Chains A and B, each alone.
Chain A
Amino acid sequence: MAEPTELHELSVAEAGRLLRQGSITSIELTRHALYRIHAAQPALHAFVTVTDERALADASRADLEFARGVDHGPMQGIPYALKDIFHTAGIRTTSHSRLMADHVPAEDAAVETALRAGGGVLVGKLATHEFALGGPSWELPFPPAHNPWNPEHFTGASSTGAGAAVAAGLVRVAIGSDTSGSVRGPACLCGTVGLKPTYGLVSRRGAFPLSYALDHIGPLGWTVEDVALATQVIAGHDPHDPSSVARPVPDLVRGLNDGVRGLRIAYVPGWFRDDPALDPQVPAAIERVLAGLRERGATVGEVTLPPYRLFNACGRVIMAAEAFAVHEADLRARPGEYGRFTFQRIAAAAGLSAVDLVQAYRLRQELADAVDAAVFAAHDGHDGHDGHDGHAAHDAYDVLVAGTGLVPAPRLDAFGADWPPPRALSAMQTIPFNVTGHPALAVPTGLSAEGLPLGLQLVGRAFDEAAVLRAGAVVEEITGHPLVRPPL
C-alpha cells in the first residue's frame, strides 16, 4: 500500500491502477486530499467551497462500485475540483462574486455531469477572478488564490484556484475555463499542465459565460497524462450546447508514449522576440526544449504569423463586447456590487460599437485561416496556396510552439488600485488560440532563477489534441518538471 503522505503524488493513472487492485481506497485518497486542502487553505486560498461531505459520499460510492466490479473509467475514485463558475446542483456556485455569493444552482454543468458519471470525487469549488475576468482582488467575498511557488506571487489569469490547487498537490486534476488564457495562464505561472481543447470539443453548458465566442473549458493537471485522462472524460458532443461539435472523441492516451520522431514542429518566436516585457529566461527555456525535441527526432522550423497585436485586438474586442452583453442588466442595476477590476474591465465595453464587433468577427476568421495556412497546410513554394502568398515550401506542420507567459509570476502587490495593470503583469500570449479555436496545451519548461515556473504552449490542428498531448509528454521528459514540487 502506498504511504499516506505520498497519495497526492500518485498520478490519475497510478491511483486508478491501485484502486482497481484494491491496494488503496478512494476514501483514503479523498481524506488525504481534504486534509491537504484544509491545511493549505490559509496560505493559498485556492478553494471557495470545500465539499467534504459530498466528497466522502462520492468516494464511498466509488469504492463500493470497485468492489462490485463496476468501472466508469479513469476518473473513478479520483478527487477533482471545479472552478467556481461551473454549476453544481445543490452546491453554492459564486463566480467569486458578491452578486452570486448565495447562488445555489439546481442542475450540474455538463463537465460536472460527465465527471460524476465517470465516478469522480468532487472535493470543492475553486477560486477564480470574479466572473472569470476581474483580477486579483481583496474586496470580493473571498480572497484571491496565491501561488504555491511563492504565496506573495500571482497565479496568472482567472482559473487561479485551479492552478494553485494542482501545483500544491491538493488535487491531481481541476477543471477551469479559458477565454483569453485562463487555463493556460495559471498552468504556466503555477507550473502545471493545462489544456484549452479545440472550440466545440468540451461542452460549456452550465458554465457561467464570459464570452460566447471565445469561452473554452479544459483541465489543469500535474502531468500531461493526467490532463489527457481528464479530457477523455469531459470531452464529447452535447446537443444542449450549440457550440458543441458532433464528432467522436479519439483515444487521447494511447499515443502519449509514441515520442516525437518524425513530428514536424513550427515555432513562432516573432510574437514575443521584440516585446519589451519579455523575460529572457522564457525564450531560453523554450530553446532548450526545442533542442531536446530535435534530439529526439522532431524537425523544427520557424514560421511567421500575422502580428500578435491583431490576435490580441480581435480577441479582446470580442471578449469585452460579449461580456458586456452578459452583464448589461447588473451593470446598470447593481454596479457597486462588482469588484473594481471587473467593473472597470466590463463597463469600458460600452464604448464599443456594433461595427467594431462585426469587424472583429470577420478578422477572427481571417486569423484562424492564416494560422491553418502558415502552419497546418503544406506549401509547394508557389503562390496562391489558400489565398496566402509568400510561404516557403514546406510540408504541413503537426504542432506549433509558442510562448505562454512572457514573464514569471509577478508579485500580487504589483497590481495597482485600478485596471489596467502595468503591461508586464499581464504579458500572456494565449489569446490567439481562443480567437482561432485551435487546441493549445500549456506545459512547464522549468523554473526561473527566482524559483518560479516558466512555460510554453503547444498548438495543434483543430481536434488534434492527441498530437499536442504526445508532444507535451516529450516536453515533460526533457524538463523533468513533474518531479519538482513547490516548497510548501
Chain B
Amino acid sequence: MSAGEAATEAETEAAFDAAMARAGVTVPEQWRSGTLASFRELRALADLVHDASRPVAHEPSGAYRMRAARHG
C-alpha cells in the first residue's frame, strides 16, 4: 500500500497485529475491538501530521520553544 491509499480492514488488522507483536504487548481478546478502533483512529491522526509541503530543511524542528515567552 502506498502513502495516501486507504488501508483495507484486513491490512489495518495486519498492521495492528504486527505493531502489538513488535511492542511486545498482548491484547486481551475481550479488549481487541476497542484497541483496534483506537489504533485506526490514531493512525488517521498521524497521517494528518505528515505535511508533504513542509520542506525537509524547514525549521522549526523538534526543539520546542515558546516564542511568546519573550513578551513582557
Contact = CB atoms under 8 A, between A and B. Distances in A.
Determine if chain A interacts with chain B.
yes
A322 interface: no
A362 B27 contact: no
A131 interface: no
A220 B54 CA distance: 39
Contacts of A418: 31, 33-34, 37
Interface stretch (A183-191, A441-449, A459-467, A470-478): A459-467
Interface string B1-34: 0000000000000011001101111111001011
Interface stretch (A25-33, A266-274, A351-359): A351-359
Contact of A348 (B24, B28, B39, B69): B39
Contact of B27 (A316, A320, A347, A353): A347
A64 interface: no
Interface string A278-318: 00000000000000000000000000000001101110110
A359 to B, nearest CB: 5
Contact of A344 (B19, B34, B46): B34
Interface in B33-48: 33-35, 37-39, 41-43, 45-46, 48
Contacts of B48: 309-310, 313-314
Chain B residues touching A, majority SS? helix
A420 B46 contact: no
Interface size class, chain A = 35 or more
A420 B37 contact: yes
A213 interface: yes
A169 to B, nearest CB: 36
A311 to B, nearest CB: 10
A463 B37 CA distance: 38
Contact of A362 (B24, B41, B60): B60
Contacts of B19: 350-351
A352 B51 CA distance: 16
B64 to A, nearest CB: 6
**Most chain A beta-carbon neighbours within 10 Å: one of B22, B23, B48:** B48
A464 B27 contact: no
A408 interface: no
A200 B42 contact: no
Given A332-B25, A351-B16, A317 B62 contact: no
Interface string A385-425: 00000000000000000000000000000000111100000
Interface string A182-225: 00000000000000001110000000000001000000000000
Contacts of B50: 355-356, 359
Contacts of B42: 316-317, 320, 348-349, 351-352
B50 to A, nearest CB: 5
Contacts of A348: 35, 38-39, 41-42
Nearest to B23: A350
A200 B25 contact: no
Contacts of B34: 340-341, 344, 417-420
B22 A365 contact: no
B25 A213 contact: no
Contacts of A361: 61-62, 64
Interface stretch (A37-45, A103-111, A122-130, A368-376): A368-376
A141 interface: no
A345 B38 contact: yes
**Most chain B beta-carbon neighbours within 10 Å: one of A199, A358, A362:** A362
Interface in A116-175: none
Nearest to A359: B49
B41 to A, nearest CB: 6
A372 B67 CA distance: 8
A438 interface: yes
B38 A245 contact: no
A314 B64 CA distance: 13
A381 interface: no
Interface of B: 15-16, 19-20, 22-28, 31, 33-35, 37-39, 41-43, 45-46, 48-51, 54, 60-69, 71-72
Interface of A: 198-200, 213, 245, 247, 309-310, 312-314, 316-317, 320, 324, 328, 331-332, 335-336, 340-341, 343-345, 347-353, 355-356, 358-366, 368-369, 372, 376, 417-420, 437-438, 461-464
6 contacts: A343-B31, A347-B27, A348-B38, A350-B19, A359-B49, A365-B65
Across the A-B interface, the 7 shortest Cβ-Cβ residue pairs: A418-B34, A365-B60, A348-B38, A462-B68, A313-B48, A350-B23, A344-B34
Given A351-B39, A364-B64, 8 more contacts: A309-B48, A317-B45, A324-B23, A335-B27, A344-B38, A348-B39, A366-B54, A372-B68
